[in-house]
Structure 1
């Protein structure tokens, strides 16, 4: 079992193509590519913490149909664009505004919004967040887990920490399956 983090998928939200300049020719291509990338990485026994802005639910039921295609035990930390219908979906293992968990002995604070300071920030606790779509300069022990930063896919804590040690966040090159999904 692996534990993954992601945020800001914005499934079914046409604004994301223009505002965030995502490299997909249509909203259907966007949604299909993000679903395929999730399925490529996450297995049925894995856990995914989605840190907000999962989907717009238009037409009604679309968000539930997308969620049903995504493997893993899924937890939702609510974002500013998650409608009530998304929050009530029984496919979520949990739904809340904030969580504190530990992964491999590392304590984490999870919220959609980035904090300036957080509980035990001076004691090595890490803040994982979404919301800023890679546009916020991080402070120590703070990481944006949004898909705009991570090549449109969920990531592990080990991957997040390894990239920070190598320098500023840069999305890895798209895989052949990503390029194929985006162009189909």
Structure 2
């Protein structure tokens, strides 16, 4: 079983394409691409933590149908666009505005909003969040898992923690 994180899908939100400069030709194309990319990497027995802003402008019934059609066991950490109707849906394995969990020996602090400080941040704890749509400079061990920052798909912790590759080798004189 793999564990994935995502946020800010904003399914059904026509204005998201312009607001967040999403590179798709229409709302239908945007939503279809995110659904296809989710299905490409998430298996039925995987776990997905959605850190809020699931949909905008869709009824809770439509949100439930969409979430139930996606693979994985889904948890919700609600965002500012997730009303009580979405949070109350039975398609969520859990719903909480703030979650601490351990994965791979590391404390993860999950919240829709990026935190300025979090428990054990100086002891290696990681803050995963959404809300900023890839527009906020992160602190150390802080990652925006929103679709706009993650190729419109859920992401694994290992992919976030992997160091960026150097583009060129640097040599120093002896």
Answering whether residue 117 of structure 2 is matched by residue 117 of structure 1, we say yes
TM-score of the two chains, using structure 1 as the length reference: 0.86
Moved more, 57-66 or 130-139: 57-66
Moved more, 59-68 or 13-22: 59-68
What's the CA shift string for 1:23-52, capped at 9, x where partnerless?
111111111111111011000000000001
For 1:61 and 1:80, the matched residues in 2 are separated by: 19
TM-score of the two chains, using structure 2 as the length reference: 0.91
Structure-1 residue corresponding to 2:51: 51
Question: 1:68 deviation in Å?
Answer: 1.5
For 1:49 and 1:125, the matched residues in 2 are separated by: 17
Answering whether residue 148 of structure 2 is matched by residue 148 of structure 1, we say yes
8 Å Cα contact 2:52/2:130 also seen in 1: yes
For 2:45 and 2:57, the matched residues in 1 are separated by: 26
* 1:32-71 mapped onto 2 (5 Å cutoff): 32-59=32-59, 61-71=61-71
For 1:59 and 1:17, the matched residues in 2 are separated by: 20
Question: 1:61 deviation in Å?
Answer: 2.3
For 2:76 and 2:60, the matched residues in 1 are separated by: 19
Q: Which has the larger radius of gyration?
A: 2
SS in 1 for 2:79: coil
| Structure 2 residue ranges without an equivalent (≥5) | 166-174
* 1:1-184 mapped onto 2 (5 Å cutoff): 1-59=1-59, 61-162=61-162, 165-166=163-164
For 1:3 and 1:25, the matched residues in 2 are separated by: 30
Cα–Cα, structure 1 residues 94 and 57, in superposed 2: closer, same or farther, change >3 Å? farther
